[in-house]
Structure 1
Amino acid sequence: MGTAEECHIARDKIAENLPNEIVTHIFQYLALRDRLAAAQVCRRWHAVACDHRLSADEVMFFHDNLSQYLPVLQRSSRAFSHFVFKEMELGDKLLDFWDRFCPSLRSLRIQACNLSEKTLVDVLSRCPRLQRLQLSGCRELLMSGRVLESQDDVALLRDTLAELRELSLDSNRYLSDALFNRFVAIAPALEGLSLAGCPVSFHVGLCKRFYPHTDARPLASESLLTFDNVLRLVAARAGLVRRLDLGHTLLDNVALERLCRVPGLRLEALRACNCEQVNNAAVMALVELQPGLARLDLSRCSRVTDHALLAVCARMHALVSLNLRCCGGVTNLGVAQLSRLVSLEELDLSQCRLLTGEGVARALCPAMNTRLRELRLTGLELDEATACLLAESLPALTLLDLGFCFNAVTDRSLQAVCRHQRRLRTLVLAECNKVTDAGLTGMGVGEPAQPSEPAQPSEDVRVRLLSVRNGERLADPFHKISLRSKAEQEIVDDAKLKTLVSEVCEQQYVRTDDSLANLAGLRHLNLCGCNRITDVSLKHAFSFLELRHINLSKCHQVTETGMRSLAANNPSIEELIMNNCYVSDEAMICFVRHSPRLRHLELQHCEELTDAVLDALGESCGCLKHLDVSYCGKMSPEAAERLRARLPGLSLVRAASLHVQAAGWDFIPPPPPTPLSGLRRLFRR
């Protein structure tokens, strides 16, 4: 027996003899899809994968129809703890389902569903371990105003939901003071409350109209939701309430200051997204009265300026997350003080149009920062030097968003990111069209990798590498003077660059530390609009075992060769977005046949694709749940229907504007006839 075979058998025996506790611990590091695949290896691993400790964070999402999943769920021996229902009818036919899963339920989200008042009480009365409840956009439930009308129901649910900590009633236009009071009454241990998008009335005169007697309020209004009523209940629970979400409401500085002055209230998180009435005075009052905030969201608050940000940086030293997206009044002066927030882990400065690279560098790069985990800088006026400095100074980032930073993201800055950001899980470079194959493959920077000792390139290739590295145009030895236009010259240069990078990659003159492949743990990658990327990058730089979501929209130079390499080297892809691409049938068929885990696919405006792609999806992608083939002119509605019939789990097929190829309909319909009144005016002229 050979040595290699003996080692293989020894490894198999070790795997078989591992205790279940160790296998369970190993499975905790696997993603959900990986655990599902491992559960099919043997019965023992299947039993381990069903351990409740592994499924504690799994969320069951149902959209539009539940009947096809009921038999499978009823036979399952697993106990699921989190359910989401969207745009469904939840009636009495699901009583067995509720009896089966409600006792172990920890979170329940009901979004835009049709259910009666009695059904809601029956469901909640079966959930003694529920910790989070979200009722979003439930118009039919709240329209009558009779939900939880019975005091007996309220008392029953108050005793049952003793562990309920989070209550979200966002986007409910029929929510009133009376309904709000009833929902709060069934949550005696409430810590987090969300009223985002609800019609909360902050106007004092309107409140006085419905509550003329301020001393006593015997009955809550059944037609209006007032901030005074919300504030009164928050004051009654001041010792417990820690998180509030009043985003997308008319929250103003007076209301926010009144909220902050509630005796005993110690907020940890406040979300005031898109509250355009919030200004500097409100933020300064918040800083003075609630300095212990850990999470603050002021995105799209256009009246917030540097004065408010300076106050935040001076007092809120415990801040962990700060969102200032689309705060147009914030400039370099205020952002420069962000370095004082030593506990900051998440920062969003996207679309703050007055910020420049100088302010961002002073804020985030005065020294090495190992705490910041997520950074979003979409649409800022940054430069290449700032992007390189950010990559060097923030080594602990797991999310980096530099989308629409046209001047900052170049080959050089991208290679700096690949060299220093080893922990990145999400990278967004949308519309950064200066990125080329040279940056993604890491060619032209430094010396060849020492361990492998690849062959040295020729002197001519070395000169051209240095030209690419320095950003110079590739020289043409035969034509000293070019009569091409600027656009034509760019096309010629891109073609030469593709040839050069391919040649260098084949010679293995690539330093992996500067290649995108260095980000071994990457899971989400957005390269939408990076139209200078070709098959060379997909072949030599895209190799990620954990990559699940990738966006290659408007990458017009990707062909069958690149798609074949993408599928072969990235086995975990679940979501692919390739809108507005010139990809062919052969390329997509090759990809889908090697991507059995594919669940989400978008191919809008891919005009070269035909019904053959839909047939290949039906044969190879049994896990597909979402498909968008809008404006694919060579696909027929009949093929889309065949795919839907073949994949009953396909919840959505958007087939808008598909070309109709049925007999007698393969023509452009004529315009509608001109009205008689229009003809009369035409003849009069």
Structure 2
Amino acid sequence: MPTTIEDLPDEMLVEIFSFLEFEDCLAATTVCRLWSGLALRWNELRVDLEYNVENKSFRTLLASSRPYRHFSFDCSCPCVDWDEPAQILAKFSSTIEILEISTNNSNKEFPEFLAKMTTLCTNLKRLAIEWNESEPSGLEISFQPLNDLSDLYLSLCDESLLEIDFRKVTPNITNLHLRTDLNFKRAHQILQHFSPRLKELKVSFYDEDRFKTVCEMNFPLLKKLHFLHCSSGQDHDWSLNLFSKFFRRCANLEDVTLRICTNMKVLESIAQFCCNLQSLCFDIPELPEDFFRCLSEMLP
């Protein structure tokens, strides 16, 4: 019997679909149930949902049978009904791997939604939370551990969310992005707890002393580092010395971004101790006269 397209293995069909434009792949999903699951690269497709009273996207998604894996919720509207996003999570609980949530709401309904999320989305690989309110909500809510989660992003202006014990909720993360200046004691506990296993770290602080505390920690497995220190741009001897000592302890670094006030001394430490370095991005207020010559000698 002649071989037909129905005889091709799924892996080969996926490879064929990878050469098509998005519109063609979308059309292919209407052919049959098999192609509906294979034609689109679901791990690369993000569903963006902006919540407002007139937006019917939530209800449309509830009728979909497609295996969406990546959702981004913009719930900045002050009158969010968190039951609707929760219904989306319940609908796609078996397929969701990446979830991004942004909200300005300060009431306790958002933490309750997060608690429900931990019970529904047990397959999550990446979670990003941006909460832009500072009114505490008095959390007394139980969260389930997300054991498969490896990537956590927290951008917080609300102290109450830091009261969630992420050491228990996200016990196995290897990538941490933390942007906050509130309740640094709890943020310090999070960083200190995960430092031995982190492979990627991005931190952003405004307070100089808090940034110094991070540099005193040990990150033996770290491969990617992004420091953003929103300071006045002044050169501080203690911070430059601390950076130099810090990079001596991070010999496995491959990718470094320093959006901080730095100088040649720090770069010399990176070049000397980070032998696997592949990418370097940095800010220097004033370039020395022979900067590029020195840099080419340090990083041949």
What TM-score do you get using the length of structure 1 for normalisation?
Answer: 0.37
Q: 1:335 to 1:49 in 2, by over 3 A?
A: farther
Which residue of the other structure, out of 313, 318, 321, is the alignment partner of 2:271?
A: 313
Q: Which amino acid aligns with 1:247?
A: S
Match runs of 1:296-335 below 5 Å: 296-299=256-259, 301=260, 303-324=261-282, 326-331=283-288, 333-335=290-292
Q: 1:251 to 1:191 in 2, by over 3 A?
A: farther
Distance 1:111 1:42 in 2: 30
Q: Percent identity?
A: 16
Does the 8 Å CA contact 2:244/2:266 hold for their aligned counterparts? yes
Q: Which amino acid aligns with 1:23?
A: L
Distance 1:80 1:340 in 2: 49
Match runs of 1:665-680 below 5 Å: none
State the match for 2:18 in structure 1: 28
Structure 1, unaligned stretches of length 5 or more? 1-13, 201-224, 343-362, 364-685
Which residue of the other structure, out of 92, 108, 115, is the alignment partner of 1:101?
A: 92
Hey, which bits of structure 1, 4+ residues long, moved more than 6 A?
Answer: 14-18
Distance 2:247 2:174 in 1: 21
Which residue of the other structure, out of 185, 189, 192, is the alignment partner of 2:175?
A: 192
The Cα shift of 1:94 comes to 4.2
Q: Which amino acid aligns with 2:224?
A: A
Q: 1:274 to 1:193 in 2, by over 3 A?
A: same
Q: 1:128 to 1:99 in 2, by over 3 A?
A: same
State the structure with more CA Rg.
1
State the match for 2:110 in structure 1: 116
CA offsets 1:488-535 (integer angstroms, 9 cap, x no match):
xxxxxxxxxxxxxxxxxxxxxxxxxxxxxxxxxxxxxxxxxxxxxxxx
Distance 2:67 2:167 in 1: 28
Does the 8 Å CA contact 2:73/2:100 hold for their aligned counterparts? yes
State the match for 1:72 in structure 2: 60
Which residue of the other structure, out of 191, 195, 201, is the alignment partner of 1:244?
A: 201
Q: 1:137 to 1:119 in 2, by over 3 A?
A: closer
The Cα shift of 1:236 comes to 3.2
Which residue of the other structure, out of 180, 185, 188, is the alignment partner of 1:231?
A: 188
State the match for 2:151 in structure 1: 166
The Cα shift of 1:274 comes to 3.7
Q: Which amino acid aligns with 2:249?
A: L
Q: Which of the two has greater strand per residue?
A: 2
Superposed CA RMSD: 3.3
Distance 2:168 2:61 in 1: 33
2:13 counterpart of 1:56: no
Which residue of the other structure, out of 173, 182, 194, is the alignment partner of 2:165?
A: 182
| 1:56 partner SS | helix
Does the 8 Å CA contact 1:271/1:296 hold for their aligned counterparts? yes
CA offsets 1:636-678 (integer angstroms, 9 cap, x no match):
xxxxxxxxxxxxxxxxxxxxxxxxxxxxxxxxxxxxxxxxxxx
2:93 counterpart of 1:134: no
State the match for 1:269 in structure 2: 224
Does the 8 Å CA contact 2:208/2:229 hold for their aligned counterparts? no
The Cα shift of 1:316 comes to 1.3
Distance 1:265 1:231 in 2: 17
CA offsets 1:231-266 (integer angstroms, 9 cap, x no match):
34433334323332222432457424412xx4x743
State the match for 1:283 in structure 2: 243
Does the 8 Å CA contact 1:36/1:49 hold for their aligned counterparts? no
The Cα shift of 1:51 comes to 1.8
Q: Which amino acid aligns with 1:167?
A: L
Does the 8 Å CA contact 2:216/2:242 hold for their aligned counterparts? no
Structure with more relative contact order (C-alpha pairs < 8 Å, separation 6 or more): 2
The Cα shift of 1:283 comes to 2.3
Q: 1:43 to 1:123 in 2, by over 3 A?
A: closer
State the match for 2:72 in structure 1: 84
Q: Which amino acid aligns with 1:97?
A: I
Distance 2:158 2:216 in 1: 25
Q: 1:341 to 1:27 in 2, by over 3 A?
A: farther
What TM-score do you get using the length of structure 2 for normalisation?
Answer: 0.79
2:128 counterpart of 1:143: no
| 2:204 partner SS | coil
Q: 1:70 to 1:233 in 2, by over 3 A?
A: closer
Distance 1:17 1:131 in 2: 32
The Cα shift of 1:24 comes to 1.9
The Cα shift of 1:110 comes to 0.7
The aligned length equals: 285
Structure 2, unaligned stretches of length 5 or more? none
Q: Which amino acid aligns with 2:41?
A: L
Distance 2:7 2:297 in 1: 49
Distance 1:52 1:130 in 2: 22
Does the 8 Å CA contact 1:318/1:341 hold for their aligned counterparts? no
